[in-house]
Structure 1
C-alpha cells in the first residue's frame, strides 16, 4: 500500500539554499535531512522513525470488505482465517483472502431491534480453539459454537451497558465493563457470572492475565489495579493520563498504553454516577438489560473523541516505570507485543500504526503504516507477529500483510520543483544497503515526458541531470537491514534579472544640511541572490545621468538624496539593482525610473504688496518659478497667522493674486505681514508698515474678513471660516 503523509508533517520539509563559488549564485541544494519527519513522498513497505531514519518495513494489501460499517476488533482463528467485529448494527464476520465478507450468526441479541445500535467491542481467541466476543450497548458476551463454526451463541448477558475487554485466566473468562466499573468472572461452560471486583472508575477499559494475576486499567482514574482474589483491589500505579486503554504482558514486564482525556471526570460527574448506580442496585433481582434500563448520564458516555493524547509505558523489574513513547494529538486504540518484544500501537485520529522497542538503546518511534482512515482500531497478531490492521471510517477495511514480499520496500519523494530550468549535479546521501535512483521532468506530475529512472552513485553527477530540467524525483529501494537517513542534490539554475517592484520619492524635508528627499524601493531576485543598488538623477530635458551616493554601492533599500545641492528643476531618478554580490563574473541588472519630481530650493516672490487706506484693502501678487503656491496667510500687528484664500478661491497655480479687506483696523500705526509657501516648502514673508489717519470706510466687524471675489462687482463680506482663516 502507499503511505501518504499529513499536512502537519509536510510543514517540516527542509529545503536549504546555499551559495557556491563554482556555480556562482545560481547553485542550489535540495536537501532532505530527515526523511522520517518530512512527509516528502510515498512509502511502499518502508517504515520511518522520529529520528529521521528509513528502514524496510512490511507491505500490506488493502481489503475493502463492507461499506457503511466499521471494524473495531478482530482475531485470527486457528485455521488462519481473520475474524473481525464491529457495528453498527453489531456483526462478526469471517474475512477471506479474496476480500469476501462472510457474516456469522450471532445468537442472543434482541430480535426486536433494541440491539441495533450496539457494536462488537472486543473479539478474542481463547483456549480450546474458541473465540469470544463482547458488546457495547447490551452487555452480551457470546462464544463461538464448537458444533457450528459459523455461529456464535450467547454465553451470558451481563447487567451492564458495555463490555470493553475480555481475558481468559485460571479457566474463567473475565469481562471489563462500564459504566459501573465492574469486573465480572464468567464460567465458560455454564455462562454463570459474578462480580469479581468493583473499581472506583466508571469504565474498566482493559484487562491482562499475567503470572496468575488479573490486572485491570481504569477508564478515568489513571489507576493500574491488581486483583488477586475476589473483591480485593490493589492499586499498583497511578498514571497522569486518566484512561488505561491496553495492558499487555512483555518479556521485560508490562506494557501499558494510556490516553489523556480532554474532559476528565469531575465532582458533578461522580455525583451522577452515584445516583445512576443507586438506580441499578434498586432494580429487582434478575433484572436484565432491556428498554426499561435507566439511561446513563452524559458524563458516562465517553468515546475516543474525548481522548486528547496518548503514551505507552513499560513497567519493568521492581516497578521501574519507563515512558517508551508520547503521541501528541493522537490517542492509542490498541497495543500488541510481537515475539521479539516489539510493541505495536494502533492510533486515531491519524490512522497510523506505530512500533517501538523496549530497549533504551533502540528507543525510536517508528511509523509502520498509515491506513488513510481516521482510526486504526486494531493490531491483529498471529504466530507472534502482526498480520493485519483494522480501520474504522465510512467502510470496513482490513490491511493484510503481504508475506511474499519479505523485508523490502521503496520510498519515492514528491517531485521537487526548482521553479525554473536547471542543471542537476551530484546527488549525495547517508545510508547503507540501499539503491538510489533519480529522474527529471518539466511537469509537476511525472508523465511520459520525464526521463527514465537512473541508478545513482553517491556523490557523483549523472549525464541525464546535465540537461535543463525544472523538476526532479528520487527513489530509494531497500532490502534486509538497509538504512537511509537523508540526501542532498545540487542543481544550478539559470541566472535571472532582479525585479524592482516599486520606487518611491518622498516629499521635501529640511535637515541641518539643507533640503533632502527620502528614496525607498522594493526589489527581489528570482534566484534569491543578494542585491546592491545605484542611484542617478537627470534633469527633465537632459541626457546626462549624475550618480548619487558616490562609488560605493547602496546595500539597503533606501537612501537620502540631498536635493538642496541640486539646481532647481524637474528631475527623473533612476534606480539600478544588480546581483553582483552573488554573480561577480556575470552579473545581471534591472533599472526603474521614478516619476518626475521637482527640486525647488528657491522661495516664492511677493510682488506689489499694497494697502489702500481708503478701502482697507490689501493687494499683492505671489509668484514661484517652479512650484505651485500651496499656502497663503496673513498676520496683523504681530498676531497669529491666519490662512487666506487667493482672489480666485483656489491654490492651484504658480502665480496667485491676493485681494482682501482687513477687518478692525483703527487709526494709528499697524504692521501687516503676508506669508507665501510653495509646494517644495520654500517660504517667503513680506511685512508692510502703515499709518492710518482714519478708519477705513469699508471696515468689517472683527468676526469677518473681506475677500474680494473677482466674479463680483463689489467686495463680499465672508465669515472667517469660509475665507479660510485659522481661528
Structure 2
C-alpha cells in the first residue's frame, strides 16, 4: 500500500493507493492471482479430485498408470487414488506419519514413516510389506536412482542410506546435520540433499563423497528441483525446528471456509482456525562470507544455482513457508506454501505471480506429470488438479486500512480492464475495530464508474474494500490494476505534553539543525557579550524535542521549551502568556511562535513568582471554523532582578589580623557566592560560617590576612543564584 498526502502536512484529504504486487499482497486473494506488475485477475481453476478425512496430506507421487499415492498424517496411511478418483487404502502403518514417498520404474511405491522410522514397499497390486528398518527415528525423504536403488534421508542424526532393490541398506553418509529433509537428482546424477539445522544443500557423488553447494542463513532446506538445463532450484525455511511426531493423533483442523468459486454463496467471508502445523523449520546460523549477498530475510526463500555453480536468490516470502517446488510452464517453477496455502509462479528473471490462495492452510506437495499439476493440501487435506482455465468467480479482500482516527471517507476509484463477458465490482465497509466483526457496517457498492464515487460508509477509523471478479468465459478475466481511496481525518486537538523552564540567566545556542548559529528562542541574535561558560542544557533537563546547544550567561533571561504534538500532523503555532502566581489574569508575552522554545528577558519585570502558559493552535492547517487549541501551564518559577544586600556588622583586630563580620541577604534567591578584593583584579572567595551558600541570608567571618600596608579599603561582592550582583566598599 502506498500512503499519499495531498500536502506536506495533514491538511486536506489523504489517500491509500494499492497499485503493486507488494501493496496488494497485504490483502486476501481468494481465487484471485496477483502478478509481478501488480495486476489482479481470476486465478486458474482448482479442480478438487479427492477430499479425505485426514487433517494432513504430507506427500503425493504418481505412477505410470496415473494412480496418485497419498502419504497421510496422524494415522500413518497411504491411499491410492485411481485415474477415476476412486480411493483405496494400500498401507496402514503402525507409525503415526507417512512423510516420504517414491515410485520406481515398475510402479512399486516406497513409503517412509515416522517416528521409529521404517520404509514400506507397496506393490502395484496393493500389497505392502516392510522393506528397510534403520535405527533412525524419522524418514523424511526418499529418492530412486536409475538402477532401482533407494536412498533415504533420516533424522534426527542427519544420515543418508542407500538400499538396493532387495532391501539391503548401508550408510552412504553421515552429514552431522539433524535431519535430511529433501532428496533429488541433478542432471549429472549426483544426489542432492537438503538438511535441517544449518540449512545446507549437499551434492553427493556415487562414492558417497559430499560437497556443500550452499550453506544458507536459514534452518532448513525444504525442497529441491533440478531442471533439464542443469539449473538447481531449492527453498530454505526459517522458524521453529522440526518437532518430534506426536504420540497420539493430533485433532483434525477446523477447515477454513474460503469458498469454492463455483459453489460459493455471495459475500461469504474467510474464517476458521488451524490446529495442525505443517512445514517445519528452525533457527538460523550465519552463512559463509562469500554468500553474504544472499543473506536470509523473511520466512523462506527460493534460490537457483546455475550449472556453473553460482547461487542466486529468486524470491523471498515474508511470512509464508515454501514447502515444495515443481516445474511450471516454460522457464518457471511453481511454489507451494504454508501458513497461507498459496501457489506462486517464479521465473528465472525473478518475476513472480501469486497464482492463487487455496481454502486450506498449507499446500504441502506438488507433482507435475505431462503438463498437468496436482497439489496436496493440509488442514483440511484435499487433492486438487490445477486447470489452465480461469475460475468462474474470485474475491480480493484488501488489508484493513487504518486512518489512525475517526475519518470522513472520500472517493474510491480504480483502474481496470473488463472484457465483455466478465465483471468486476468493488465494495467497501467501515468500522472501529482492528478486525472486522458484527459491529462493522455492511458492504456498500462502489458503483460501476472507475473514475470514482464517494464512499457511502459511516465515519470510522478503519476501512476495507473488496473486489469481486467474475467471468462467463473461463478463457477471459477482468484485470484490476490499482485502487485509490481518499479520506479526511477528524481534526484532533493539539496536545502539549510538557513545559520546561530552564535555569535563570542562561541562553542556549541553537544546534546544527538551524541554518546559522544563534540563540534559541530569540527573534534576533544578541550582540556578543562577555560570556561565562556554563553547563550544557542537557545537564538540566531530559527534554529532547528542542535540542539545545551550549549555554551562555545572559543576565535576566529565562528560556522555556515545550513539547507539543498533533495526531493529525497539523502545523501548529504557539502563544506564550504569563501572570504572577497570585493573580488570575493572563498577559500575552509572545504570539505566532513556530519553534517550541522562547527566551524571555525578565529584567523589566517586577520581582515575584510567575507562571507561564503555552497555547497551541492548529490554525495553519485548518479553516477557522475547524481550528482547535489546547493550553498547558508551567510550574511556578521566580523572577529576581534585585541584587542582594551586603552589611558589615562588625570589624575587629585579632592578633594583628583585621576580622570582618559580614551579612548578605536577598529577598528572593539564595546567595551563590561572596568574594572580597584588596587589590585590583584579585578576588578571594569566602564561605559562610555554616560552610554552605544555600539560603537567602548568609553570615561570613572574613579574615583579611596578608593585607597590604597601603590598603585603605576592601571591596565586598555578593552574587545570588540568578546572577544579580551587589558590591560595597568598606574603609579599613
Shorter-chain TM-score range: 0.5 to 0.7
2:441 corresponds, among 450, 453, 456, to: 450
Deviation larger for 242-251 or 381-390? 242-251
- Three-state SS of the structure 2 residue aligned to 1:564 is coil
Whether 1:576 aligns to 2:615 is yes
- Equivalent-residue separation in structure 1 for 2:718 and 2:391 (angstroms): 93
Matches within 5 A, 1:371-382: 377-379=364-366
Alignment check: 8 A CA contact 1:85 1:123 kept = no
Alignment check: 8 A CA contact 1:37 1:50 kept = no
Alignment check: 8 A CA contact 2:54 2:381 kept = no
Matches within 5 A, 1:611-650: 611-612=651-652, 618-619=660-661, 622-625=664-667, 627-631=668-672, 633=674, 635=676, 640-645=684-689
1:473 corresponds, among 460, 464, 472, to: 464
Matching residue of 1:719 = none
Q: What TM-score comes out, normalization by structure 1 length?
A: 0.65
- Three-state SS of the structure 1 residue aligned to 2:282 is helix
Q: How well do the aligned residues superpose, as a CA RMSD in angstroms? A: 5.2
Whether 1:356 aligns to 2:345 is yes
* Count of residue pairs brought into register by the alignment: 595
Matching residue of 1:299 = none
Q: Offset at 1:33?
A: 4.7
Pair member with larger Rg: 1
Matching residue of 1:685 = 727
Whether 1:490 aligns to 2:486 is yes
1:123 corresponds, among 101, 104, 108, to: 101
- Equivalent-residue separation in structure 1 for 2:584 and 2:221 (angstroms): 84
Alignment check: 8 A CA contact 2:44 2:355 kept = no
- Three-state SS of the structure 1 residue aligned to 2:603 is helix
Q: Offset at 1:643?
A: 2.0
Any stretches of 5+ residues in structure 1 without a counterpart? Answer: 1-12, 110-115, 263-302, 691-727
- Equivalent-residue separation in structure 1 for 2:662 and 2:135 (angstroms): 108
- Equivalent-residue separation in structure 2 for 1:452 and 1:351 (angstroms): 25
Q: Note the alpha carbon deviations across 1:188-235, whole angstroms, 9 max, x for none.
A: xxx36688x96796769423497xx745214477455687xxx79999
2:403 corresponds, among 406, 418, 426, to: 418
Alignment check: 8 A CA contact 2:360 2:380 kept = no
Any stretches of 5+ residues in structure 2 without a counterpart? Answer: 240-279, 286-295, 419-423, 471-475, 508-528, 530-553
2:645 corresponds, among 605, 611, 622, to: 605
Matching residue of 2:575 = 534
- Equivalent-residue separation in structure 2 for 1:438 and 1:635 (angstroms): 82
Deviation larger for 433-442 or 198-207? 198-207
Q: Note the alpha carbon deviations across 1:253-297, whole angstroms, 9 max, x for none.
A: 6553254999xxxxxxxxxxxxxxxxxxxxxxxxxxxxxxxxxxx
2:112 corresponds, among 126, 131, 134, to: 134
- Equivalent-residue separation in structure 1 for 2:123 and 2:185 (angstroms): 24
- Three-state SS of the structure 2 residue aligned to 1:581 is helix
Q: Offset at 1:560?
A: 1.4
Q: Note the alpha carbon deviations across 1:548-587, whole angstroms, 9 max, x for none.
A: 45x7x32211121222344545444332322232225543
Q: Offset at 1:424?
A: 1.0
Matching residue of 1:516 = 557
Alignment check: 8 A CA contact 2:557 2:603 kept = yes
Alignment check: 8 A CA contact 2:493 2:566 kept = yes
2:603 corresponds, among 551, 561, 564, to: 564
Q: From the superposition, tell whether residues 488 and 15 of structure 1 become closer, same or farther in structure 2 (CA, over 3 Å).
A: same
Q: From the superposition, tell whether residues 313 and 675 of structure 1 become closer, same or farther in structure 2 (CA, over 3 Å).
A: closer
Q: Offset at 1:172?
A: 3.6
Q: From the superposition, tell whether residues 134 and 106 of structure 1 become closer, same or farther in structure 2 (CA, over 3 Å).
A: same
- Equivalent-residue separation in structure 1 for 2:53 and 2:650 (angstroms): 104
Q: From the superposition, tell whether residues 184 and 157 of structure 1 become closer, same or farther in structure 2 (CA, over 3 Å).
A: same
Q: What TM-score comes out, normalization by structure 2 length?
A: 0.65
Q: Note the alpha carbon deviations across 1:152-202, whole angstroms, 9 max, x for none.
A: 22355679887665456768464355666554452xxxx36688x967967
- Equivalent-residue separation in structure 1 for 2:145 and 2:119 (angstroms): 16
- Three-state SS of the structure 1 residue aligned to 2:621 is coil
Q: Offset at 1:383?
A: 7.1
Matching residue of 2:496 = 500
- Equivalent-residue separation in structure 1 for 2:583 and 2:186 (angstroms): 97
Matching residue of 2:376 = 389
- Equivalent-residue separation in structure 2 for 1:317 and 1:181 (angstroms): 24
Matching residue of 1:716 = none
Whether 1:344 aligns to 2:337 is no
- Equivalent-residue separation in structure 2 for 1:540 and 1:260 (angstroms): 67
- Equivalent-residue separation in structure 2 for 1:498 and 1:519 (angstroms): 19
2:426 corresponds, among 412, 416, 436, to: 436
Q: Offset at 1:93?
A: 5.0
1:206 corresponds, among 163, 180, 183, to: 183
